[in-house]
A and B are shown apart, each in its own frame.
Chain A
Amino acid sequence: MSAVRTVAIVPARNEAAAIGRVVDEIRAHHPSFDVVVVDDGSSDGTGDVARAHGAVVLRLPFNVGIGGAVQTGLRYALEEGYERAVRLDGDGQHDASQLGRLLAPLERGEADVVVGSRFVDGGGSYRPPFARRAGIRVFAGLVSLLGGQRVTDTTSGFVALDRTGIKLFAAEYPHDYPEVEATLVALRSGLRLAQVQVEMRERETGSSSITFVRSLYYLAKVTLALLVASLRRYPRAGEARR
């Protein structure tokens, strides 16, 4: 295994039933990785379970939302000097056996941000319900248009970052429904973004955070955020690296 210091960031809210296995699988596939579980105000002892399975636990005193939780882990990665970070969800839908594929573009030095996409080659067995698929398509189209690079799955939270990516997102990461906007911010900041095909599992426990009522807010918030993000000027973080 490579000696590059890598941290696996796992945001989790009330995932006590799933988090132990998530941590175990990461450690089994990549024993050299440090696992950091960000417990986003859970009330079911998620953090305690994660700690018992050998993870470092950052416990947020109340629910700050998935974006704020991920950013907590990224700030830890930045301050502790990690060279690479991967993010997996705490519900087990991201398969630790796919981490090697996710990290490959970083190891070849071809990308700063790698997104595990369910659609990149048109393959994969993931078939979301119609409304969700339509949403994913629309956002992928919008981000591709505004970011100047074709992306296929902007809602994926299965991501690997190099130090440049860690720095960018530690400083700037949206707090609710962050993935779509973060993809655009990365592109506009001049980071090299790669997508790899990954399989994802059905979620094992809990339910998707996106209920029907919230999907309207999701749609409005993300669309607005994308349009505003394309009006902003971003420092070209990518050029400092080159």
Chain B
Amino acid sequence: MTPLRVSIAGAVASILLLLVVLELIRGRRLKERYALLWLATGLVLLVLSAWRDGLNTIAGWLGVETYPPAVLFAVAILFVLLVLLHYSTVLSRLTDENVDLAQRIALLEERVARVLREPTEPEG
């Protein structure tokens, strides 16, 4: 059986996570798009902390006989992995877009410089 104090600590930590994420969105420091996975993490951990029979049952399914809270850690790690993987894909996209922007600026600068050198040339 999960010790009561572990459940309370887990629930408090989950609620703190949820509140911090919500406050970050409200203050526009976190976009909804990137907050959804964090909110899912917080909600799942909160449910598993508060619903102690559920945690025990799931631990039973997974063959965790001695210490059910280990499932809490496992789930938390799984979600952190998901968030990290998601961020890796976002980072890759941003890298490509950043290069694209830099290239476009280089081309534009050259074009602007050319237009400024020959101000009488008609457009197009």
Residues of chain A whose beta carbon lies under 8 Å from any beta carbon of chain B: 61-62, 175-176, 217, 220-221, 224-225, 228, 231-232
Contacts and interface: CB of A to CB of B under 8 A. Distances in A.
A224 B35 contact: yes
Interface size class of B (residues with CB under 8 A): 10 to 19
B36 interface: yes
Nearest to B101: A61
A191 to B, nearest CB: 20
A231 B26 contact: yes
Nearest to A176: B33
B101 A228 contact: no
Given A224-B25, A228-B22, A61 B33 contact: no
A224 B97 CA distance: 27
Nearest to A228: B25
A221 B36 contact: yes
A175 B33 CA distance: 10
A217 B25 contact: no
Contacts of B100: 61-62
B26 A217 contact: no
B97 A221 contact: no
A188 B35 CA distance: 23
A175 B31 CA distance: 10
A2 B8 CA distance: 67
Q: Which 8 A-B pairs have the closest CB atoms?
A: A228-B25, A61-B100, A221-B32, A61-B104, A224-B32, A225-B32, A62-B97, A231-B26
A232 B25 CA distance: 10
Interface residues of B: mostly helix, strand, loop or mixed? helix
Nearest to A226: B32
B15 interface: no
B39 interface: yes
A217 B96 CA distance: 24
B95 to A, nearest CB: 12
Interface string B7-32: 00000000000000010011000011
Given A221-B33, A224-B32, A228-B26, 19 more contacts: A61-B97, A61-B100, A61-B101, A61-B104, A62-B96, A175-B31, A175-B33, A176-B33, A217-B36, A220-B36, A224-B25, A224-B35, A224-B39, A225-B32, A228-B22, A228-B25, A228-B32, A231-B22, A231-B26
B10 to A, nearest CB: 23
Nearest to A63: B97
B97 to A, nearest CB: 5
11 contacts: A61-B100, A61-B104, A176-B33, A221-B36, A224-B25, A224-B32, A224-B35, A224-B36, A228-B22, A228-B32, A231-B22
